[in-house]
Amino acid sequence: MDTTFHHHELPVEDPFTIARGTTGTADAFVVRLEREGVVGVGGGTPSAYYGESPDSVADVLPGLLAIVEDVDDPHAGQRVADRLFQRAPDAPAARAAVSSALADLAARDLEVPLYRQWGLDPEVTPSTSYTVGIAEPGEMAHRAEAAVEAGFDHLKVKLGTDDDRARFDAVREAAPDAEIRVDANEGWDADEAIEKAEWLAAAGVEFLEQPVPASDLDGLRTVAAEASLPVCADEACVTASDVPRVADACDLVTVKLMKCGGLQPALEQIHTARAHGLEVMLGCMVESNASIAPAVHLAPLVDYADLDGALLLAEDVCDGIPVQDGAFDLSAVASGTGARLVD
Ligand SMILES: [Mg+2]
């Protein structure tokens, strides 16, 4: 097995701002595996919030790729994932890059798309939302309007500022028919969240994601009990082992490959959430198609998709799964995940 990786700094279309800060470029690590003429590609984007950096990923990847070379079997995904975890438990994005590339290689070796290898139903794949980051109200309205014109009927609106009402109202006015979910990225306390949930619910918002800090589980529980909207745990629910802890404090959880460490851990987290009676959203960072494409193959298992990370980029090094009006066309994937390096 030949293994390589490259680090790319990908420019974003518009500066992407959430309650915690602004992203101007996305760090994308692209792993390429080749065995007997078959190539697999996967990606990872480190998040400082979850303890990774470009340097930490670059440091850990050679050791992870050595494991893939040692196992030397594209169909040993479980064994590889277990060994990756033992070697680098605190490097979820690095592990996601490697295990996604291996999953792509395995499905390409079998000449089937990954979702068919797993027997999943592409017909029940939820459409992705398009994220409107924090900006001046007029700019947010402009971005929302453009997204609706581009065919998206679900928007995710980032809030968690001193002036949320003006921002939200501008978006709602620009996109009166869109389904809107709101993500405060830990920007509020419980009282503030309950107050804001009232006018957000009156404006038809679907649910409220991570209104309070991840460490404030009591606050999240209070919001879930008292707010007029369903509540989603994102930063508070990193892996499957967090699900039992948050299960009575939210209505749904966000699963991301870059948080939990790849496809196998994401499957565990999805099923654990289901077993606790929770709904599931599949989310992402601002990422390359190298890491979005594998996530899309899990989307038939979830209720909501927020997999627009590659759509927010001005340039990408990989092609992915075609998106039309927010709907992923999994039938366009001949084999593997659909992530392909652009020549
Ligand atoms: Mg979120």
- Please report, for the domain that includes residue 106, its CATH number: 3.30.390.10
Same domain, 161 and 100: no
210 CA to centre of ligand 1 in angstroms: 6
How many whole angstroms separate alpha carbon 198 and alpha carbon 190? 13
205 and 335 assigned to the same domain: yes
**Range of the structural domain that residue 110 is part of:** 2-115
Rounded CA separation 323/128 (Å): 9
- Residue 250 CA to residue 234 CA, distance in Å, equals 10
178 and 142 assigned to the same domain:
yes
Of 303, 302, 323, residue with least CA distance to 312: 323
Q: What is the mean pLDDT of residues 321-335?
A: 97
CB-proximal residues (5 Å) to ion ligand 1: 183, 209, 234
Rounded to the nearest whole angstrom, what is the distance from the C-alpha of residue 111 to the centroid of ligand 1?
34
What's the 256 CA to ligand 1 centre distance in angstroms?
9
**Each residue of 208-256: pLDDT tens digit?**
999 999 999 999 999 999 999 999 999 999 999 999 999 999 999 999 9
Q: What does each C-alpha distance from 191 to 205, 225, 260, 270 come to in angstroms? A: 18, 12, 30, 30
- For residues 201 and 164, give the distance between their C-alpha atoms in angstroms, rounded to a whole number: 14
Same domain, 33 and 159: no
**CATH classification of the domain holding 234:** 3.20.20.120
Q: Are residues 210 and 291 in the same domain?
A: yes
Last residue of a domain, one of 85, 115, 145: 115
Closest CA relative to residue 161, chosen from 132, 131, 135, 198: 135
If asked whether residues 251 and 129 sit together in one domain, one would say yes
DSSP conformation letters of 40-56:
EEEEE---GGGT--HHH
Residue 343 has pLDDT above 90, yes or no: no
Same domain membership, residue 250 and residue 110: no
Q: Are residues 14 and 162 in the same domain?
A: no
CA-to-CA separations, 100 to 31, 117, 198, 247, 256, in angstroms, rounded:
9, 14, 41, 28, 13
Q: Are residues 6 and 147 in the same domain?
A: no
**Do residues 304 and 231 share a domain?**
yes
Mean of the per-residue pLDDT values of the chain: 97
Same domain? 80 vs 224: no
Q: Would you state the pLDDT for residue 50? A: 97
CA of 317 to the centre of ligand 1 (A): 25
Q: Nearest CA to 242 among 229, 233, 231?
A: 233
How many CB atoms are closer than 10 A to CB 255?
A: 30
Strand partners, 336: 113
CA of 16 to the centre of ligand 1 (A): 13
Q: Other CB atoms closer than 10 Å to residue 171's CB: what's the count?
A: 26
Q: Which of 83, 115, 147 corresponds to the end of one domain?
A: 115
Query: From ligand 1's centre to the CA of 31, what distance in Å?
Result: 25
**Cα of 279 from ligand 1 centre, angstroms:** 15
Q: Are 171 and 260 in a shared domain?
A: yes
Is-above-0.85 flag for pTM?
yes
Domain total in the chain: 2
What pLDDT is attached to residue 222? 98
Is the Cβ–Cβ distance between 14 and 310 less than 8 Å? no
Q: Cα(151) to centroid of ligand 1, in Å?
A: 22
Which of 115, 133, 164 is the last residue in one of the domains?
115
